[in-house]
Amino acid sequence: MTDGLYVFDEDPVCNYPETVNLTNLPVFVNHNEASSDFTIPQNGDLSLLGEYTVTIRSEICVPDNYTKNTCTTLQVEYDFIVVM
């Protein structure tokens, strides 16, 4: 099963490189960074049934001035629930 498409938008769009980190992602859930979604392979392990709270966090580094020698990290994070 593949589900959970996510998007972090910049406003205005500056195309700064983005880093996405996940906390508490269960080992049976695959994060597909290229397509911004998650996959759970088919299995029959009933011990995995339950709800799992996962935190997704996006960070970009915005240059402090035109020299781009230093930057300020901007971040946003959200919790979501994986139901198995």
Report the CATH number at residue 57: 2.60.40
Q: CA 46: distance to chain centroid?
A: 26
List the chain pLDDT tens, one digit each, 84 residues. 666 688 888 888 888 899 999 999 999 999 998 899 999 999 899 999 999 999 999 999 999 999 989 999 999 999 999 998
> Which tokens sit at 12?
């205005």
The domain of 57 spans 2-83
Cβ atoms of 14 and 63 closer than 8 Å = no
Cβ atoms of 4 and 31 closer than 8 Å = no
Number of domains in the chain: 1
pTM score: 0.80
Rounded-to-integer distance, Cα 41 and Cα 29, Å: 8
Q: Report pLDDT for 1.
A: 64
Q: Report pLDDT for 59.
A: 95
Q: Report pLDDT for 52.
A: 96
Close Cβ partners of 45 (under 8 Å, ≥ 6 residues apart):
28
